Structures are given as C-alpha cells and as structure tokens.
Amino acid sequence: MTDHALSGFAFSPSAASAVRTVHARGGAPVALRGLAKSFGAKPVLSGIDLEIPAGQFLAVVGRSGCGKSTLLRTIVGLESPSAGVVAAARGDEARIMFQEPRLLPWARIVDNVRVGVPGGKTKADAREAARAALAEVGLADRAGEWPSVLSGGQKQRVALARALVSRPRLLALDEPLGALDALTRIEMQALLERVWREQGFTAVLVTHDVSEALALADRVILIENGAIALDIAVDLPRPRRRGSPEIARLEGAILDQLFGNGASEDALKESVA
C-alpha cells in the first residue's frame, strides 16, 4: 500500500453534528494478538496483545527507537507482522498522517486533498468533498493555492484534510505535530480533538510528548523493550487543562516507568511551578 493510498470528509463546523449522522461511519476497532515484529535478526516488538475499542483515542509513547512507529505502521498495514495477528480497518477506512505533510508541490491544495478521495466519484464530486474537508480544517479559502505558500501548520492541516476526506474509521497519526512550533501545535491538538469528536473515528497517535498524549487521549500506552510496559486510562473531561494535578499525576506515573521513581516528583514540581 502506498502512503498516498493511505493519506483521508470533512464538514463545516456548524454542520458537523448534523452531518455526523448522515456521513460519519464511526470508529473501527483494532485487535492485535501476539504481535511480533523484527527487522532481519533485530526484534523490535514481541508478544503485543492490544484491543482498541471503536472510537477510542489511544496515544503511544516511549523512548526514541522503542518501536512506536513500527507498531502504528503494522496496525495500518504498512508493515506486516513477523508473528501474530492484526485485525484493523483497511483500504479507504484507514488513513495515516506523518510528521511531514507529504504534499504534491505541483498540485493545488484542493487537488492535494482530492488524492485522498476514494475512487468511483466524478471529478466534480471529488473536488466538492475536498473543499468540504478543507473547510473542516479551516482552509476553505486556500483551495486554489499552491502548497508552497502555506506555513508548516497549514500544510499539516491540508494533510489532515486529505486523510479525513475518505471518512476513515481508523486514523493513524505518526508524530503529526512533531515539527510544529509550540503554539501551532496547541492549535492543531485542538483541531485533532474536534474532528475526532465530530467524526468518531478510532485514533492512534504516536507522540514523543507525554503531555500531548495526556491532553488528547482516552488511553496511553508506553512501549518499552518491545512490549507494553504501561497501559493507563485517561478518564478526564475535555478540553483538558494543561498542568492540572490529575494530568501531572498521570504524567508522573509515565515518567516513573521511564526513568524510575522520583521523576514524577520533578514533573509535578514543574507542572505546578
């Protein structure tokens, strides 16, 4: 499967709730049983059992190189497992977004989004769907421009529109906000949360940023030594307040697992400072 084949409807914010009942397909569950992945002789993941209920927002964190992207790519079918079983949405029902927007420089913005429209539509219908997706991410007025005139954050909005235009039931997010400045990142987090809430897809987000994971996800898993070392529910109302004691406590639990006891105390001090 190519990345473009994976790259995915979107609606104007005011129409979103009405549209959801008409268009949104809801989330698809993911099940991994005994998943292992090696590259040559090098084991990366082993014995992973993971059920992600339909519509859940799951974040995957862990040290650089621990296998987060490999897990995500295996879930969407860009990597095949060395052992075990992966059951997840495929084809137009699954989309992935990367850290780089991967736009076609020679295609106008609306046509970049059209790349994500499933086959079988007329060009006019595909363009209309692409325009609606652009409206959903706040770029309705930029449809006829070239990617080169956009900022990094705007390019990622186009990539999100391209992913959403197929109305995916599973959206895999591989550090999609990793290259953005802090303020743009916070705006994009709010956008991701809104489209997830409106459209109801299952979201799997790989991030280096534990606070981003805790701001967005229903559940956070930590990968260590090729396995799930921590699996925590984030049962807090949205939008989440950064630095709240509840968030800091969860952050502490994750940092303790990563760095040993004591890291959480530092995290707590920082979050209340």
Considering the complex, what minimum distance in angstroms separates the CB of residue 9 from ligand ATP? 29
Residue 97 found at the interface with ligand ATP (CB under 6 A): no
Q: Does 7 participate in binding ligand ATP (rule CB under 6 A)?
A: no
41 binds ligand ATP (CB under 6 A): no
Print the binding letters for residues 102-141 with ligand ATP: x by CB under 6 A, - otherwise.
Answer: ----------------------------------------
Q: In this chain, which stretch among 62-70, 116-124, 165-173, 212-220 interacts with ligand ATP, using CB under 6 A?
A: 62-70
d(CA 168, CA 233): 24
Among residues 44, 137, 163, 165, the one that binds ligand ATP under rule CB under 6 A: 44
Stretch in the footprint of ligand ATP (CB under 6 A) among 59-67, 143-151, 165-173, 250-258:
59-67
Is residue 176 part of the contact set for ligand ATP (CB under 6 A)?
no
Is 68 among the residues that bind ligand ATP (CB under 6 A)? yes
DSSP 241: P
**For residues 123 and 208, which CB has a smaller minimum distance to ligand ATP in the complex?**
208
Q: Do residues 56 and 219 touch, judged by C-beta distance below 8 A?
A: yes
Task: Name which of 208 and 242 has its Cβ closer to ligand ATP.
Answer: 208
Q: Burial level of 139, CB count in 10 A (0-12/13-18/19+)?
A: buried
> Between 67 and 147, whose beta carbon lies closer to ligand ATP?
67
Q: Six-digit token pair at 251?
A: 């952050």
Taking residues 207 to 246 in sequence order and writing x for each that binds ligand ATP by CB under 6 A, - otherwise, the string is -x--------------------------------------
User: Should residue 259 be labelled a site residue for ligand ATP when binding is judged by CB under 6 A?
Assistant: no
Q: Does residue number 64 form part of the binding site for ligand ATP (CB under 6 A)?
A: yes
Residue 39 lies near ligand ATP (rule: CB under 6 A) = yes
Within the chain, where are the H helices? 3-6, 16-22, 68-76, 109-114, 123-136, 152-164, 182-199, 210-216, 245-259, 263-272
For the record, the structure tokens of 40 come out as: 């040559």
Residue of 67, 64, 57 lying closest to 35 (CA atoms): 67
Distance, in Å, from the CA atom of 16 to the CA atom of 26, rounded to the nearest integer, reads: 13
Shortest separation between residue 263's beta carbon and ligand ATP, angstroms:
19
Q: Which residues contact 249 (CB under 8 A, 6 or more apart)?
A: 264, 268
End-to-end CA distance of the chain: 47
Region of 2-10, 14-22, 25-33, 58-66 interacting with ligand ATP (CB under 6 A)? 58-66
Packing angle between helix 182-199 and helix 152-164, nearest 10 degrees? 10
Contact (Cβ atoms closer than 8 angstroms) between residue 23 and residue 167: yes
Smallest CA-to-CA distance from 243 within 252, 231, 235 is with 252
Instruction: Give the binding site for ligand ATP (CB under 6 A).
Output: 39, 44, 62, 64-70, 208
